[in-house]
Amino acid sequence: MTPSVSVIVPTRRRPLALARCLAALAQLDHPAERLEVIVADDGGTLGPFSPPEGQRVRILRMAWRGPAAARNAAAAVAEGDVVAFTDDDCEPDRGWLRELLPAISAGVAGGGHTTNRLPDNAYAATSQHVQDLVYAHFNCRPADARFIASNNLAVPRADFAAVGGFDGRRFRGAAEDRDFCDRWRASGGRLVYVPEAVVRHAHDLDLPGFWRQHFGYGRGAACFHAARAARGSGRLRDDMPFHFDPALWRATFELRPRRRAARTAALLMVWQVANATGFACERVRLGRDAV
């Protein structure tokens, strides 16, 4: 039997993006009676809302607690056999669940490939390039993946609850998906990467937004490595080779046209600095709070 699915979409102050996301979800080729969509309104700012005609959408309004906690709150009331996560600025392809669900079973979670829907935005394109590099590094064996981003992830609902969902207390802005994947694997679960399950991401960035995004990722990384060290599931130096891997720069300079490669390489240096700065700032905060 086709599994029932609860698609969970956290949102905060992006009604137009959310409308595009829901319109895409309304086109999924999954039986309507086996699908529900739960919108977690993080901060309760959505206002009056009308979903696409015929779409089964529940709005869960809550005080602001961050996307990790919003996803958990929605998963707690979900009715599907599988909880599938995407974000309000994302548009899953029609075949997203059809491609993804065959890989999902008890003890097996998975996710697909995210593409950039704004190719003319250099900052969005570079952020997508970074994610592509991350996936190439950590998911080189798709049947034994190490990281799946939370905007394209599906997990058996019972198993999601059993591992405690996302850590919404420690992670309010970034890296909750890294932490979840690490805990999932440490518990004996398996991650699979299904590149045919496509989600299009429309993150409209400028230079300050690009910096804030990757500064935040650096802060999240510091929290992640502190949590991982505390539970003994890994060390910071395990992930350091990624940032210094020559393949990262080779893949960048192979981009075409050459002007795109040069622009992306320049923004990769901004990414590295922003990420390292955020990491250092968060390490200082964590050390101060521990005193």
Digit-coded pLDDT (tens) for 23-52: 999 999 999 999 999 999 999 888 777 777
Q: Say what the pLDDT of residue 255 is.
A: 87
Confidence of residue 291 (pLDDT cuts 50, 70, 90): very low
Q: Say what the pLDDT of residue 192 is.
A: 98
Q: Say what the pLDDT of residue 290 is.
A: 53
Average pLDDT of span 234-261: 84
The token duo for 178 is 């890294």
Average pLDDT of span 117-121: 96
Average pLDDT of span 215-225: 95
Confidence of residue 289 (pLDDT cuts 50, 70, 90): low
Average pLDDT of span 159-165: 97
Would you state the CATH architecture of domain 5-290? Answer: Alpha-Beta Complex (3.90)
pLDDT over 70 (residue 22): yes
Average pLDDT of span 226-237: 86
